[in-house]
C-alpha cells in the first residue's frame, strides 16, 4: 500500500506510474473522498474536544453536588452530531481504502518502462546450453518413460495440473528441497522457517494477494482461510503488526512450502508437464531490511538464487522486469530463467525464480515497522523475497538438460549425496 499522504501529495506521479504499468485507478474519487475526509475529521475533532472539556466540567459540578442537567442536555446534542459525522467519515474512509488497497507499488526509477514481458531487459546469460547429438525430449516424456512422473493418475486423483512423482522422481524433488535449504542456511545466512500453508484474509492482504487477485487463490470452504500461493505470504507476515528494533535488521528467512495457485486465466498455457501446476513445491527466501540497504540486499538475494543454478550447472539468464510486467506489490523484480532445451521448437528460457524488492509497500499493509535508536517514531521496513528455487521447474530443467539418448537422466553432482549416491536415473 502507498501512504495516503504520499498519494494525496503526489497524485500526478501516482497517475504516471499507473500508466507505465498499464493499470488504472479512480484517483478523482480518491482525491474528493480524501478532501471530504479531512474536512469531516476536523469538525469531529473540534466537537470531541468540546465534549471532553465539558465532560470535565460536568464531573466537577457533580462532585460539588450541583445540578448539571442543562449542559448535559447540550452535550446530548453534541454527541448526536458527532455520531452523524462519524458515519460519513467512515463512508469516506471506506471509499479511500478501496482505492488505496488496489493501487500498485511505484516502480523503482531503474525499472525499464515497457508494455509487457517483451520489454524486459536482459541482464546476463550464464552457462552454455548443451549441444544435443539427438533431439531432446520434453521432461514429461522423459519422466513418464522413466516411471517417475504420472500426470494421468494425478488427474484421476485430483484433476489437471497436479503432480504425482514416484521413486527417483519423488526423491529428486526431496533432494532439491534439502539441497536448497542446506545451502541457504549454511552458506547464505538464512534461518529456516516452516510456516502454516493456510493463512487468513489479513495475511493475504498484507503481502498484496488480496483483495485484487482473489481469483488466483484457493479458498477453503466454510473458512475465511486460503491456501498459500507462495511462502512469501506466511513468512513476510511473521512480523505483521510488530515494531522491530533497528538492531534486529536485516532478518533472513528461508522456507520450503508447497504452493497452491488456481492459475485462472491460463487455460491452454503450459498444459503439459511440471511448468504450470496448481500445486508445486518451492524454497523461498525472505528478507526484512532497512530502506538504505534493500537494493544491495536484493542483489545479494538474486546472487543466492543464482548460486543454486550454478551449482546444478544449469544454464540461465537474468532479466529485469519492465514496468508492464512488474507484479502488483513489487518496486523492482529480477527474473531468473532457466534453459529448457525441449520447450518450444529450439528450447526456451523459462522463469524459475523471481526476486523482488517491495520496499515499504507490503510493510505498510502488514504493519511491519522498525524503530531507530534515538529517533522518534517508526518507519516501515523494506521486505524482499525471491524463489530459491521453484522445485518442480528445477526437476523439469534437470530432466531436460541432463537427459541422455537412451532416455536416462544423469543426476547433477551436488545432488548425489542427497540421492543416496545415485548417479543416474534409468528405467
Partner RNA sequence: GGAGAGAUGACCGAGCGGCUGAAGGUGCACGCCUGGAAAGCGUGUGUGCCUGUAUAGGGCACCGAGGGUUCGAAUCCCUCUCUCUCCGCCA
Q: Is the Cβ of residue 175 or residue 233 nearer to RNA in the bound state?
A: 233
Cell 532439491 locates to 176
**DSSP-derived secondary structure letter, 269:** S
Q: Are 425 and 411 in contact (CB under 8 A)?
A: yes
**DSSP-derived secondary structure letter, 403:** B
Give the contact letters, 17-56, x = binds to RNA (CB under 7 A), - = no: ---------------------x--xx-xxx-xx-xxxxxx
Q: Is 343 exposed, middle or buried (0-12, 13-18, 19+ CB in 10 A)?
A: buried
Task: Single out the catalytic residue among 21, 171, 364, 393.
Answer: 393
Nearest to 358 by CA among 381, 387, 389, 390: 381
The cell numbers describing 191, all together, are 534461518
Q: Are 5 and 28 in contact (CB under 8 A)?
A: no
Instruction: Establish if 4 lies at the interface with RNA (CB under 7 A).
Output: yes
Task: Single out the catalytic residue among 31, 86, 98, 351.
Answer: 351
Instruction: Tell me which H or E stretch contains 180.
Output: helix 167-186
Among 243, 248, 299, 413, binds RNA (CB under 7 A): 243
Q: How far is the CB of 108 from RNA (least distance, A)?
A: 23
Helix, strand, coil percent content, the chain, rounded in steps of 5: 45, 20, 35
Q: Is the Cβ of residue 48 or residue 416 nearer to RNA in the bound state?
A: 48
Q: In this chain, which stretch among 165-173, 263-271, 332-340, 366-374 interacts with RNA, using CB under 7 A?
A: 366-374
Q: Is the Cβ of residue 130 or residue 371 nearer to RNA in the bound state?
A: 371
Among 13, 16, 29, 76, binds RNA (CB under 7 A): 76
Instruction: Establish if 72 lies at the interface with RNA (CB under 7 A).
Output: yes
Q: How far is the CB of 379 from RNA (least distance, A)?
A: 7
The cell numbers describing 150, all together, are 504420472
Those residues whose C-beta lies under 8 Å from the C-beta of residue 130, and which sit 6 or more positions away, are: 315, 341, 401
Instruction: Establish if 5 lies at the interface with RNA (CB under 7 A).
Output: yes
User: 276 catalytic, yes or no?
Assistant: yes
Task: Single out the catalytic residue among 354, 356, 364, 365.
Answer: 354
Instruction: Establish if 377 lies at the interface with RNA (CB under 7 A).
Output: yes
Q: How far is the CB of 371 from RNA (least distance, A)?
A: 6
Among 21, 369, 382, 393, binds RNA (CB under 7 A): 369
- How far CA 216 is from CA of 138, 263, 310, in Å, comes to 27, 6, 32
User: 393 catalytic, yes or no?
Assistant: yes
Give the contact letters, 202-241, x = binds to RNA (CB under 7 A), - = no: ----------------------------------------
Q: Is the Cβ of residue 75 or residue 193 nearer to RNA in the bound state?
A: 75
Q: How far is the CB of 41 from RNA (least distance, A)?
A: 5
DSSP string, 329-396: T-SEEEEEEEEETTSTTT-EEEEEEEEEEEETHHHHHHTEEEE-TT-SSEEEPEEEEEEEEEHHHHHH
Q: Which residues are catalytic?
A: 261, 276, 351, 354, 393
- Site of interaction with RNA (CB under 7 A): 3-5, 38, 41-42, 44-46, 48-49, 51-56, 58-59, 62, 72, 75-76, 78-79, 90, 243, 369, 371, 373-374, 376-378
Amino acid at each position: 500500500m502507498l501512504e495516503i499522504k504520499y498519494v494525496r501529495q503526489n497524485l500526478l506521479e501516482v497517475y504516471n506510474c499507473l500508466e507505465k504499468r498499464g493499470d488504472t485507478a479512480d484517483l478523482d474519487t480518491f482525491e474528493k473522498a480524501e478532501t471530504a475526509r479531512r474536512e469531516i475529521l476536523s469538525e469531529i475533532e473540534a466537537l470531541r474536544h468540546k465534549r471532553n472539556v465539558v465532560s470535565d466540567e460536568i464531573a466537577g459540578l457533580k462532585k460539588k453536588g450541583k445540578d448539571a442537567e442543562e449542559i448535559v442536555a447540550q452535550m446530548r446534542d453534541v454527541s448526536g452530531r458527532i455520531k452523524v459525522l462519524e458515519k460519513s467519515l467512515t463512508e469516506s474512509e471506506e471509499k479511500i481504502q478501496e482505492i488505496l488497497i488496489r493501487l500498485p507499488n511505484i516502480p523503482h526509477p531503474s525499472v525499464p518502462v515497457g508494455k509487457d514481458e517483451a520489454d524486459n531487459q536482459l541482464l546476463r546469460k550464464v552457462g552454455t546450453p548443451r549441444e544435443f547429438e539427438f533431439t531432446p525430449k520434453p521432461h514429461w516424456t522423459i519422466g513418464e518413460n522413466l516411471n517417475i512422473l504420472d500426470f494421468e493418475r494425478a488427474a484421476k486423483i485430483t484433476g489437471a495440473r497436479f503432480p504425482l512423482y514416484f521413486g527417483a522422481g519423488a526423491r529428486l524433488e526431496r533432494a532439491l528441497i534439502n539441497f536448497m535449504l542446506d545451502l541457504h542456511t549454511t552458506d547464505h545466512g538464512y534461518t529456516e522457517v516452516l510456516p502454516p500453508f493456510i493463512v487468513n484474509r489479513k495475511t493475504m492482504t498484507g503481502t498484496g494477494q488480496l483483495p485484487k487477485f482473489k481469483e488466483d487463490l484457493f479458498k477453503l470452504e466454510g473458512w475465511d482461510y486460503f491456501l498459500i500461493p507462495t511462502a512469501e505470504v506466511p513468512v513476510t507476515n511473521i512480523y505483521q503488526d510488530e515494531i522491530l528494533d533497528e538492531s534486529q535488521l536485516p532478518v533472513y528467512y528461508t522456507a520450503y512450502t508447497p504452493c497452491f495457485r488456481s492459475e485462472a486465466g491460463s487455460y491452454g498455457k503450459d498444459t503439459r508437464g511440471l511448468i504450470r501446476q496448481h500445486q508445486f513445491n518451492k524454497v523461498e527466501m525472505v528478507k526484512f531490511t532497512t530502506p538504505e540497504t534493500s537494493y544491495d540486499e536484493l542483489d545479494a538475494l538474486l546472487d543466492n538464487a543464482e548460486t543454486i543454478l550454478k551449482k546444478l550447472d544449469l544454464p540461465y539468464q537474468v532479466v529485469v522486469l519492465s514496468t508492464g510486467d512488474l507484479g502488483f506489490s513489487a518496486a523492482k523484480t529480477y527474473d531468473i530463467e532457466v534453459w529448457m532445451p525441449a520447450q518450444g521448437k529450439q528450447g526456451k528460457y523459462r522463469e524459475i525464480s523471481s526476486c523482488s524488492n517491495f520496499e515499504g509497500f507490503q510493510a505498510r499493509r502488514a504493519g511491519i515497522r522498525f524503530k531507530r535508536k534515538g529517533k522518534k517514531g517508526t518507519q516501515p521496513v523494506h521486505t524482499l523475497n525471491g524463489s530459491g528455487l521453484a522445485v518442480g521447474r528445477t526437476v523439469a530443467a534437470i530432466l531436460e538438460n541432463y537427459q541422455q539418448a537412451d532416455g536416462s537422466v544423469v543426476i547433477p553432482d551436488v545432488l548425489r549425496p542427497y540421492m543416496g549416491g545415485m548417479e543416474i536415473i534409468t528405467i
